[in-house]
Amino acid sequence: MTRYASVLDLVGNTPVVDVSVLSPKANVTILAKLEGRNPAGSVKDRVALSLVEAAEREGRLIPGKPDQTLIEPSSGNTGIALALVCRLRDYHLKVVLPTNVSPERRQLLLAFGAEIIDSPGAEGSNGAVRLAQRLSEENPEWVFLYQYANPANPLAHYTTTGPEILADVPEVTHFVAGLGTSGTLMGVGRFLKERRPDVQIWAVEPPSGEMVDGLRSLEDGYVPPIFTDNDGEHLLDRKVIVRARESIEWTRRLTEVGLFVGLSSGAAVAGAVKCAATIPDGEAATIVTIIADDGWKYLSTGAWSDDVEDVVERAKSIIYF
């Protein structure tokens, strides 16, 4: 086994596994890149490390200087990944977290020493973003990395995730991933399009449940600046919505291939299956999709054990994505 000097050296270089047994077309290969293998458990480890290292390069954070505070809105994985990086770098992290995330996320943040600032659950991720923006304006001494607008977010995927995919799967024809901050899709999408212009980039829009009910009007809507900055509308070839029921059903089906993954990964694979279904018979295709995290943080949702109707109903009031 390789020996590593730091846990942070374990970020990235994740494995890809063939899950084509789930493909609706015999001629279409589906490959899943397992980001749950990252040390803090999700694809966001790449982003957190990239955000902090960029801030250190720019002098916004100074390694070794005491009493430096960061603030970030997150519905889970970015906060957890940042908490790990900040613990190792000795920065204090405040995470603005909607009250209705799964309890495992809250506990993981506390485990790595982050401070949690609650934002209204009914306002979802948009509400957390707004509160973090306000708090950072009121406390200019805090460092606000703002994953939704920071070019270091897609850069992490442009410099690591994208090259790994092309090295491991040079025959890739389609890339399918969930659309959150859009960092994965913008970074990997741009990297692949520059080298393989024919590769199709598909975004999967997660079900938004209660977040939609929390919006007073469309003016509370939100498009991440990194999506706009990277001309996301032209970079993406297609965007499909995956409903809560499909996400849960595909999360369960992934256990058939031995994968115990988070609900957003069920949604991503559901999107990959929709993509596969569009490939004409007899035409070969290779779809790469991202398994953003493993299932551990979602056990309290009962996603694998409870009646699917109950889980779908619960999904409307808890942010799983």
Annotated catalytic residues are 44, 264
Question: Which residue, 39 or 232, is less far from another protein as judged by CB?
Answer: 232
- Based on the shown chain and the rule CB under 8 A, indicate whether residue 236 belongs to the binding site for another protein: yes
The answer to whether 270 and 243 are in contact (CB under 8 A) is no
Contact between 237 and another protein by CB under 8 A: the answer reads: yes
Supply the minimum distance, in Å, between the C-beta of residue 221 and another protein: 3
- Whether 69 contacts 91, CB under 8 Å: yes
76 binds another protein (CB under 8 A): yes
CA torsion angle for 179, 310, 299, 10 (degrees, to 10)? Answer: -10
Nearer to another protein, 168 or 220 (CB): 220
To the nearest whole angstrom, how small is the minimum distance from the Cβ of residue 296 to another protein? 14
Site string for another protein, 1-40 (x = CB under 8 A): ----------------------------------------
| Phi, psi dihedrals of residue 13, rounded to the nearest 5° | 50, 50
Phi, psi for 152 (deg, rounded to 5): -65, -20
CB of 20 to another protein, least distance (A): 22
Stretch that binds another protein, among 52-60, 107-115, 161-169, 239-247 (CB under 8 A): 239-247
- Angle between helix 103-111 and helix 77-89 axes, rounded to 10 deg: 10
205 binds another protein (CB under 8 A): yes
Contact yes or no for 17/31 (Cβ under 8 A): yes
Q: What angle do CA 191, 197, 203 make, to 5 degrees?
A: 65
What token pair was written down for 130?
């707004």
CB 236 within 8 A of CB 270: no
Residue type, 52: V
For the CB of residue 66, give the shortest distance to another protein in the complex, in Å: 30
Choice from 87, 92, 238, 253 touching another protein (CB under 8 A):
238
Q: Is 321 in the site for another protein (CB under 8 A)?
A: yes
Counting contacts by CB under 8 A, is residue 161 touching another protein?
A: no
Among 64, 138, 218, 309, which residue interacts with another protein (rule: CB under 8 A)?
218
Q: Are strands 174-178 and 285-291 parallel, antiparallel or unpaired?
A: parallel
Degrees (nearest 5) of the Cα angle 274, 279, 280?
A: 140
Residue span 290-309 as binding mask against another protein, x where in contact by CB under 8 A, dash where not: x-x-----------------
Beta strands at 16-18 and 28-34: parallel, antiparallel or unpaired: antiparallel
* Structure-token pair, residue 205: 């829009």
Nearest approach, Cβ of residue 247 and another protein (Å): 12
Of residues 98-157, which lie at the interface with another protein (CB under 8 A)? 101, 124-126, 129, 147-148
Among positions 23, 68, 78, 173, the unique one binding another protein when judged by CB under 8 A: 78
Any idea which residue has 């899709």 for tokens? 185
Q: Provide the 3-class DSSP secondary structure of residue 309.
A: helix
> What are the residues binding another protein (CB under 8 A)?
43-44, 73-78, 101, 124-126, 129, 147-148, 177-181, 184, 203, 205-206, 208, 211-212, 215, 217-224, 233, 236-242, 264, 274, 290, 292, 319-321
